[in-house]
Amino acid sequence: MKFEMVMPKMGESITEGTILKWLKSVGDQVTKDETILEISTDKVDSEIPAPVTGKLSKLLAEEGETVEVGVPIAEIETDAAIKIQKEKAGKEEQPESPDTSKTNTVQKSTAKPLNTNRFYSPVVLNIAKEHGISNDDLEQIPGSGINGRVTKKDIKNFISNKSYPAARKTIPRGPEISSAKGMIETIPMDNMRKSIAEHMIHSKQTSAHVSLYSEVDFSNVYKIREGNKNSFKAREGFSLTYMPFIVETVVKALKEFPMLNAALDGDKILIKKFYNIGIAVAVENGLLVPNIFNCDEKNLIGLARAIDDIAMRARTKKINPDELANGTFSISNFGVFGTTIGFPIINQPQVAILGVGALKKRAVVIDDAIAIRPIVYLSLTIDHRLIDGAMGAQFLQRIGSLLEDYDPQLIV
């Protein structure tokens, strides 16, 4: 019997995914929960396991193809297929019908009603409406999806290729530049890099970025880590880092300065009473910022476990897209690469982000005497539409004082 494997729903806001790579070929045996392909969404790249054990008999979607959630992408021959499909049918809801209200919205915005049997997803219809694409133009877009369906990638390619009047722009030509053959390598941007680029540009165009920085004496935190690192690793199985201390102090400071844990919604200020802290994680060819939810409910050890967990899963493509949403404040630890100071871009729709530099021992003046201390530069980028320099400086100073006030004899 054959089991239909469909494009999985990776998160509440995810409507489609792009197949990056099939790790198995037609005719290969696959085992349930074995990774058989990689997909990319507009939030994260993920490894997808086989839903059943059997033989991969047919691929219904090729690499590079964007497929909507719930659409079949492969067939697996298995004796257990009928039983599993029946169980699945009993547990899962039926797919939603196309959003006719959105379809009608697009129809009203064009001169000619859409008279076709071709199905357009709500995502495609929204993009068409946003860019003023007429129904006639929509009909002319070649579809790369199943049965010739127009995907999000298809309509975006149509727009970027200047294939309709609203997208055409006159670009002045500069002087011709010649180059020796083979001296320039052209590499297409992958989905993750495109998503990062769009997110960063959106942030800079949305928020009025202002950056501050301060130096913090990590002597006490340094002593805690040195005194506990061996026993901690033996017990927990991973190394104790400085990040749990930073997250813990950030949450305490956010409670004292709630505007830093807010978001702007037009002319309204949304002050969050929960603390979902995003931790920037460098991954292959990009960066992810998964969130640790409800950080105020975790102690230092709980935060250390959560930080290690999301970092490991981010690097192995196991992060759920929903973990990349609903953050209230973010931290970028570029110090792990030896960088002393930097000014990160705000992670929208948040209003601030903390940057953490490398810990370096420096000569500092304490009580009119020179001493060697482990120093870390912390930077804070704020959205000046909501946060003024005085509040940002006080918040940053508070984080620093909390870090400096840790008990050096603390047992972790």
* Chain Cα centroid distance, residue 241: 23
Amino acid at 106: V
Cα separation, 65 vs 286, whole angstroms: 21
Integer CA distances (angstroms), 210 to 53, 249, 355, 383, in order? 54, 22, 13, 7
CB 243 within 8 A of CB 393: no
Grouping H, G, I as helix, E, B as strand and the rest as coil, residue 141 is coil
Closest C-alpha to 210, from 379, 333, 397? 379
Q: How many CB atoms lie within 10 A of CB 369?
A: 7
Closest C-alpha to 356, from 214, 168, 182? 214
Maximum CA extent, the chain: 83
Cα separation, 210 vs 392, whole angstroms: 9
In the residue annotation, 388 being an active-site residue is answered as yes
Closest C-alpha to 19, from 59, 56, 61, 53? 61
From the candidates 28, 33, 388, 405, which is the catalytic residue? 388
Residues 6+ positions from 203 with CB-CB distance below 8 Å: 345, 346, 347, 348
Integer CA distances (angstroms), 98 to 35, 42, 84, 102, 137, in order? 31, 21, 27, 9, 20
From the candidates 137, 384, 405, 407, which is the catalytic residue? 384
In the residue annotation, 308 being an active-site residue is answered as no
Grouping H, G, I as helix, E, B as strand and the rest as coil, residue 203 is helix
In which element (H, E) is residue 6 found? Answer: strand 2-6
Give backbone dihedrals phi and psi of 32, rounded to 5 degrees, phi first: -50, 135
What is the set of active-site residues? 384, 388
